[in-house]
Every structure is written in C-alpha cells, then in structure tokens.
Amino acid sequence: MTNERRVLVHQNKQALAGSVAARFITKMVDVLHEEPEANVVLTGGSVGIAVLEAINESAARDTIDWPRVSFWWGDERWVPRADADRNERQAREALLDHIAVPESNIHPFPASDDDLSLEEAAAQYASELADLAPYGGSLPRFDITFLGVGPDGHVASLFPHGSGIRENVASVIPVRNSPKPPADRLSLTRPVLNSSERVWMVLAGSDKASALGLTLAGASRDEVPAAGIKGRKRTVFFVDNEAAAEVPENLIAPSY
C-alpha cells in the first residue's frame, strides 16, 4: 500500500523497543530475499538506541545477512568522534560493534575533529550519498529510515520554523543555532527522508503525545516537521501508551 500510515501502540518503552526490533529483523530478512543489499538510516535518542540494543539482544539477530546491509544516519551532533553524545558512537556500542557488518558499510557523518568546517562536512556526506546511489540516481535506496520525534515535533535535526525543513535542493545541510543542544549539527533533508521506502518513527513518553497528535492531524510541516515526513511505501508510528494519548482511535492499527 502506497503512503500508508499506521500507528502501533505498545504497553511501555521496553515492549516498544522489543517489538520494533523483532519487526526490523523480519523485514530485513524479507528485503534481502528480494534485493542484493539493503540500506538503513539510523536515529539517536534513548528510544532509537534502545531499539538497536534490542536487535542486538535478539536470538534472531544473525538471521540477517549483515554484510549486505549498509548503515547511514539521519542526523548527527557536531561533536568530536569519540564524544559520548555522538549518535554514531551510541549506535556502535548498542549494535554495530556486535554484528558482522563490514566497516565499509557504515557511513557516519563527519565529526567536529575531522578538520572540516560544518559546511564542508555537509558537502562531504552529500557526496558520499551520491557516490553510492544506484546508476541514474542521486541517493541510495533507503529500505528503512528510523526517526525519533521531539516534543516540538522535530525529526532528525529539522526543527519547527527552521530553514532546514523547507530545504528542497540539498540532500544534507549544516544546522546552526539548533534550539536543542548542541547548537551545531548535520542533517539529512526532508526530500531525502521522504525518498525512503519505509519510515519508522519510534517515540515514547507523554511529552511526545501532543507532537504525535498534531502530526497525525495534518499539521503544517513548518509547525510540526514530523507531519511532513512520509515513506514511499509506508510510514509507521511505533509508540507507547503514553505517547498515544492524543491519537484518534481510528488511526491505531490492531495488534500484529
């Protein structure tokens, strides 16, 4: 089904992470049955990292042919590569260091200690995306893109009323003066996120309820950036009970 949106509600954050992990493993096996390789876009945040930890802890983890999977990031904090706040470092500790994925398949954003300016770093990542695109394309085919959603409705580092959410040409942007620290970041843009086959937004907590409700109600993407993100095939909101407090009953999918 094209552009289908579904909301799957879970009892708590732990159940949410385990369910998303199981679904990811099953979907990756299916994708790799149909395609020679897969590309996954990762997110940071406590729930995003909890999902990666749950994938790592799953007994079915290695049913995925990891050497055929490549990893990217939706955004990154402009901090040194070894910084504990860096999304890349957290993802490596949670999952990537524990699976048989070649280092060449891991595509982190540049770091602040890489001797590049923020603008140069954005251009370098955009070039890497283009270099690994299929013939005739400008981006890899993203099979699953994970996104968190902030209490203000931001996704990746695309914030409400910021120029980033309105960017339609560049694939990667430098972000300065972010309302959420650190002030400097790198982010994929909305057209890149929307090129994904499947967008999986994963969020938990009562502080996310308003943003989720507004997203599903069709709010302006300038007001609520998450409202402007849709996967080409499917967009799924994996949420816990607290985050689902303002979701209309008719939008909640039955258990699977």
List the domain boundaries for the chain.
10-230+240-246
**Cα 54 to Cα 20: distance, rounded to the nearest angstrom:** 8
Distances (CA, A) of 210 to 8, 140, 166, 204, 238: 17, 33, 22, 12, 15
DSSP H or E stretch at residue 5: strand 4-10
Per-residue pLDDT of the chain (256 residues; tens, 9 = 90+): 456 788 999 999 999 999 999 999 999 999 999 999 999 999 999 999 999 999 999 999 999 999 999 999 999 999 999 999 999 999 999 999 999 999 999 999 999 999 999 999 999 999 999 999 998 889 999 999 999 999 999 999 999 999 999 999 999 999 999 999 999 999 999 999 999 999 999 999 999 999 999 999 999 999 999 999 999 999 999 999 999 998 877 777 765 4
| Size of the chain, expressed as the number of residues it contains | 256
Are 94 and 54 a contacting pair, CB within 8 Å? no
Closest CA to 112 of 151, 79, 157: 79
**CATH class of the domain defined by 10-230+240-246:** alpha beta
Are 175 and 187 a contacting pair, CB within 8 Å? yes
Query: Residue 237: beta bridge partners?
Result: 7, 201
Are 149 and 211 a contacting pair, CB within 8 Å? yes
Q: Does pTM top 0.75 for this prediction?
A: yes
Kindly state the tokens that stand for 120: 């140069």
Closest CA to 99 of 35, 33, 21: 21
